[in-house]
Amino acid sequence: MSFEIFDSYSRWEDDKDFLKNLDRVDLSSISNGEAGGVPLHSNGRVAYIDDFDNHSLIIGSTGSKKTRLIVMPTLQILARAGESMVITDPKGELYNRTYDILKKNDYEVFTINLREPSTGNCWNPLCFPYTLFKTNDFIKIDKARELLDDLAQSIIPVKFSKDPYWESSAQDFF
């Protein structure tokens, strides 16, 4: 087996080029910024952000200040830029810290709490298929059945087993 070595790709050649190609955001300004993204460099007053359509992975041990140094500034910058956000927040910490900021920037904030469904917003995955089913329109009824089949396959996946009878029966029963 042989491995080919590829030249690594980087948008930045050196430290000067790095800062030159990032957008500068004044963190003390309350006005909406034009750019939104993850801050890659900051002195506390000014942040340099990468506003390209990228994915970011932040890894750190418990207590390494990921939320304080990366997540909170990112959420504030994204809110000021008017970016859409979907945030996973199992402890509710980000919700408590950012709700006021997001409301000030005219965001609609929805919370789905699967542990305590009575708190926050609700979501019933059966509501839309039921609405379609009640129309007595065959095309909409077929769509309702398709949506229910998709939901059943998501909730009760058929494992790669020799006898998928039980999983398939559970999906059909659902």
pLDDT attached to residue 148: 93
Spans of all domains in the chain? 10-122, 124-174
* Sites in the chain below the pLDDT cut of 70: 1-18, 30-33, 160-161
pTM of the model: 0.62
pLDDT attached to residue 1: 46
SS3 readout for the chain: CCCCCCCCCCCCCCHHHHHHCCEEEECCCCCCCCCCCEEEEECCCEEEEECCCCCCCCCCCCCCCHHHHHHHHHHHHHHHHCCCCCCCCCCCHHHHHHHHHHHHCCCCCCCECCCCCCCCECCCCCHHHHHHHCCCCHHHHHHHHHHHHHHHHHHCCCCCCCCCHHHHHHHHHC
pLDDT attached to residue 99: 92
Place of tokens 């087993």: 161
